[in-house]
Homo-oligomer: A and B are copies of this chain.
């Protein structure tokens, strides 16, 4: 089939809060071809990704992403790969392109799955979608008491793993962080996996991270995520040699295969966390999963928005049985909840899995999308380059 149309929809909560919650807006991509449609979602900054879809060409290696997608043939997995390669070559100098491609790639996999009546993970070559251990992914409370209450609710809801991140963590004293960590551990109970996300708060400051290591070990944190920005390979590696049982986790900032490869090769990671909505889609994420598996590093999905994004994030490692842990956002804003008609729920053992259904197995709720839709118009030389399409 031919790719007949690609439409971008900017959705947003009525008000965006200045907190580390990525579920407050969304950029949806709808790809139509052969009487079917596939859906995908790009990670943050909808307007910028829309601009990179429609921008005028600057030169031969700086074309709008649309130039490499519209009118292309889509009949096989190889076609999705070819389209991704074309975008990377023709939009080489357009920084936002990987972001924009991510949502398109996800939608292409969804569309192809619907066409051939297979789940995406089967198209990726897996024979089984293994159950994953979901961790409830939440922000630290503003106070240790609030964090304790959150952790307790998570344990009561039957989660065996929880991740606390952002909020006040890392920004004041090591002792304040100790109190937060202890509160999380107490609320969660002794058995649960406690995961900690520093949200790049220490940038490249190795000593700042070091001062928290003893407290992290005390509460038996399973991993410390993003102590540093993604590029700080040397600092990551050094910290990993001192962190004992606390594994280094990182990678959500990677927006291409190479960045993830460099982290795997040089950062001393125990866990590589990949956002399919940012790294270039399911295709690139699968390549990273394969590379991580070959290098005895656990692949973990990164996702903080809708269940469409959650399904996309699970596909790349659905068939890797030993890569057990998965992120499962549990504090989503209403937009991210209402976007989809169905959701990926925990089974009786508290586990989740990439859906055994065509494509991504997620249906969009058009009425909900309409409620959150943000009308956008971009004009150049008084000609409309982009106007929010009909849903």
Indicate if A20 sits at the interface (CB-CB under 8 A).
yes
A63 CA to B229 CA, complexed, in Å: 17
Is there contact, CB below 8 Å, between A233 and B255? no
A257 CA to B234 CA, complexed, in Å: 13
Copies per assembly: 2
Indicate if A153 sits at the interface (CB-CB under 8 A).
no
Indicate if A21 sits at the interface (CB-CB under 8 A).
yes
Knowing A20-B59, A46-B58, A47-B51 are in contact, say whether A95-B93 is a contact too (CB < 8 A): no
The residue that A45 contacts in the complex, of B50, B88, B94, B266, with Cβ under 8 A, is: B94
> How many of A's residues come within 8 Å of B, CB to CB?
68
Knowing A232-B258, A259-B231, A382-B375 are in contact, say whether A55-B59 is a contact too (CB < 8 A): no
Q: Which of A11-19, A75-83, A108-116 contacts B (4 or more CB under 8 A)?
A: A11-19
Is there contact, CB below 8 Å, between A95 and B255? yes
Determine how close the nearest CB of chain B comes to the CB of A307; give it in whole angstroms: 18
Is there contact, CB below 8 Å, between B60 and A20? yes
Q: Which residues of A from 74 to 121 have beta carbons under 8 Å from B?
A: 85, 88-89, 92-96, 98-99
Knowing A16-B56, A200-B92 are in contact, say whether A380-B47 is a contact too (CB < 8 A): yes
Is there contact, CB below 8 Å, between B20 and A61? yes
Knowing A22-B59, A232-B258 are in contact, say whether A95-B98 is a contact too (CB < 8 A): yes
Indicate if A36 sits at the interface (CB-CB under 8 A).
no
Knowing A44-B58, A261-B231 are in contact, say whether A377-B379 is a contact too (CB < 8 A): yes
Q: Top 6 A-B pairs ranked by shortest CB distance? A: A231-B258, A51-B51, A44-B58, A47-B55, A44-B62, A96-B96
Interface residues of A (CB under 8 A from B): 10, 12, 16-22, 24-25, 43-48, 50-52, 54-62, 85, 88-89, 92-96, 98-99, 166, 199-200, 203, 229-233, 253, 255-259, 261-262, 266, 278, 374-382, 385
24 contacts between A and B (CB under 8 A): A12-B56, A16-B59, A17-B59, A20-B60, A21-B60, A22-B58, A22-B62, A44-B59, A44-B62, A44-B93, A45-B62, A46-B58, A47-B55, A47-B56, A47-B385, A48-B96, A50-B51, A61-B200, A85-B203, A88-B229, A92-B229, A262-B262, A374-B380, A375-B382
